[in-house]
């Protein structure tokens, strides 16, 4: 008999071979994950034949949606010439030239295979250059799975300590104590407290790691004051400023860093620059990146990677970034402004305790009356957390795929009609949430 729910059946099989039935927790959901059959443009069709409008875009990595014809054609042509060689290619040179032309702080660049790897290589580059071991990072920020980069990413009220002096909290059981000791946690957008904390470790810090619009910290841009304070401190104490632009590179033609007067020494990239394939990169000041140069007698940071700069990723990324030119970035960011303003209007009309944050083509819905400004304010209380889960699930039932934090990432194949589809679905979903969670009704004075 034909199955009416192939995804449920596949999940049952998957649990026999994959822990929890998944290869990455991102896609895990109950009663079962969704399994893709095919995707085109801004829609994904699952193996049960249901098509959904995709605002997750593989966790912000698909800037042109799925199977863009120009990117697809370029990949096919490359694959026929081979997919990986123990030789360099002109493609990696051409792609590095394009990225370096685009961003003033990129004087040298090296490709790797994921955002996690890019952040790891960036931290190791900073250590090798400064000959110091510690790093500082913002509480709650996600930078991938390197032991050091993930410290305090999941801190919670029971273990996060004082607001102006947060604890270094491990994510994984068994994280070495040494990793915790070597990561200094600073609060977001609070230059005064951050500098006080940094001052206690002035001679030990190799670099300060910052995502300028961190998703987990609330998707609120870092203030100029905050970035400039960190930059000035780093100049004073021979430390580097390291930006994680794995997601935020989409925010402007030259990345989110284009909005600040000061420039990072190093930047980690990933996601969108792979054109739909696994990728990462570190880029930055020539003098700093020189620690990777194998032409030295004693290389301070020997670095390789079997699939780094593989030609399939290179052609997909290069073609995607050529298409994501200044005009395309501007158009997509205008759609981002439209999305955030339409969601805000809907929130006001419905009288729900919610708000939307974001920048460029990124947005995040919070079930909070006032927009958060840091990780602790973003952290959802138990009611908000369950209501948000419900919101994401209800949107899925309305044939909209979101990132499970209530965030969305636009792609260049979307237009105002796509946003109107989202708003219509969200209107029904807000009604449902207000019905199930009456405490989320705005009081009349704030309506």
Ligand X SMILES: Cc1ncc(COP(=O)(O)O)c(C=O)c1O
Residues of this chain that interact with ligand X (CB under 6 A) are 59, 114-116, 119, 142-144, 211, 215, 244, 246-247, 270
Pairing of strands 51-54, 400-401: parallel
Task: Considering the complex, state which of residue 249 and residue 430 has its C-beta at the smaller distance from ligand X.
Answer: 249
Smallest separation, CB 143 to ligand X (Å): 5
Instruction: Kindly tell me which of 115 and 166 has the beta carbon lying closer to ligand X.
Output: 115
What residue is closest to ligand X based on CB? Answer: 115
Judged by CB, which is closer to ligand X: 247, or 282?
247
By C-beta, is 116 or 308 nearer to ligand X? Answer: 116
For residue 421, CA distances in Å to 25, 243, 412, 417, 426 come to 28, 34, 16, 6, 9
- Distance, in Å, from the CA atom of 289 to the CA atom of 103, rounded to the nearest integer, reads 15
Q: In whole angstroms, give the CA distance from residue 210 to residue 202.
A: 18
Smallest distance from the beta carbon of 308 to ligand X, in angstroms?
Answer: 13
Query: Shortest distance, CB of residue 142 to ligand X, whole angstroms?
Result: 5
With 0-12 / 13-18 / 19 or more C-beta atoms within 10 angstroms meaning exposed / middle / buried, residue 22 is middle
Q: In this complex, which beta carbon is closest to ligand X, that of residue 120 or of residue 440?
A: 120
Number of H helices, E strands in the chain: 14, 16
Q: Report in angstroms how near the CB of residue 265 gets to ligand X at its nearest.
A: 17
Of 116 and 411, nearer to ligand X (C-beta) is 116
Of the two residues 270 and 311, which places its CB atom closer to ligand X in the complex?
Answer: 270
Q: What 3-state DSSP class applies to 325?
A: coil
- Minimum Å gap between C-beta 364 and ligand X is 12
- Residue 216 and residue 156: Cα distance in Å, rounded? 13
Q: Give the pairing of strands 407-409 and 51-54.
A: unpaired
The beta-carbon contacts of 171-176 under 8 Å, at least 24 apart in sequence, are 172/147, 175/147, 175/151, 176/147
Report the nearest approach of ligand X to the CB of residue 243 (Å).
Answer: 10
DSSP 46: E
Residue 211: CB minimum distance to ligand X, A:
5
């Amino acid at each position: 008999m034909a199955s009416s729910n192939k995804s449920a059946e596949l999940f049952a099989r998957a649990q026999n071979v994959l822990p929890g039935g998944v290869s990455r927790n991102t896609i895990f959901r109950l009663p079962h994950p969704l399994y893709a059959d095919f995707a085109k443009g801004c829609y994904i069709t699952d193996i049960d034949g249901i098509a959904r409008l995709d605002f997750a875009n593989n966790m912000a990595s698909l800037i042109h949606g799925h199977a863009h014809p120009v990117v697809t054609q370029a990949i096919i042509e490359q694959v026929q010439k081979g997919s990986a060689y123990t030789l360099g290619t002109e493609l990696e040179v051409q792609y590095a030239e394009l990225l370096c032309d685009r961003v003033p702080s990129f004087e040298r660049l090296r490709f790797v295979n994921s955002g996690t790897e890019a952040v790891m290589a960036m931290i190791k580059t900073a250590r090798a250059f400064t000959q110091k071991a510690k790093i500082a990072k913002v509480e709650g920020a996600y930078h991938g799975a390197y032991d050091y980069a993930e410290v305090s990413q999941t801190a919670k009220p029971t273990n996060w300590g004082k607001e102006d002096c947060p604890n270094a909290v491990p994510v994984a059981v068994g994280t070495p104590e040494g990793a915790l000791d070597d990561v200094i946690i600073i609060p977001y957008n609070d230059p005064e407290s951050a500098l006080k904390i940094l001052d206690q470790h002035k001679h030990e810090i190799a670099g300060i790691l910052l995502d300028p619009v961190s998703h987990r910290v609330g998707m609120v841009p870092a203030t100029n004051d905050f970035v400039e304070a960190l930059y000035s401190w780093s100049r004073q104490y021979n430390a580097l400023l390291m930006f994680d632009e794995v997601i935020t590179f989409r925010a402007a033609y030259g990345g989110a860093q284009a909005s600040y007067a000061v420039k990072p020494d190093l930047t980690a990239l990933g996601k969108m620059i792979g054109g739909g394939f696994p990728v990462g990169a570190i880029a930055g000041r020539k003098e700093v990146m020189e620690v990777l140069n194998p032409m030295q007698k004693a290389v301070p940071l020997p670095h390789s990677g079997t699939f780094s700069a593989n030609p399939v990723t290179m052609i997909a990324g290069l073609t995607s970034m050529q298409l994501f030119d200044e005009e395309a970035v501007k158009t997509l960011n205008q759609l981002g402004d439209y999305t955030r303003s339409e969601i805000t209007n809907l929130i006001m009309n419905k009288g729900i305790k919610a708000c939307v944050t974001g920048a460029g083509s990124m947005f995040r819905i919070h079930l909070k009356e006032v927009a958060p400004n840091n990780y602790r304010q973003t952290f959802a209380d138990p009611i908000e957390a369950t209501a948000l889960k419900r919101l994401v699930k209800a949107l899925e039932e309305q044939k909209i795929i979101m990132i499970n934090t209530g965030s969305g990432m636009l792609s260049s194949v979307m237009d105002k009609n796509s946003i109107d589809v989202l708003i219509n679905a969200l209107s029904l979903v807000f009604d449902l949430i207000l019905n199930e969670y009456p405490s989320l009704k705005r009081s009349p004075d704030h309506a």
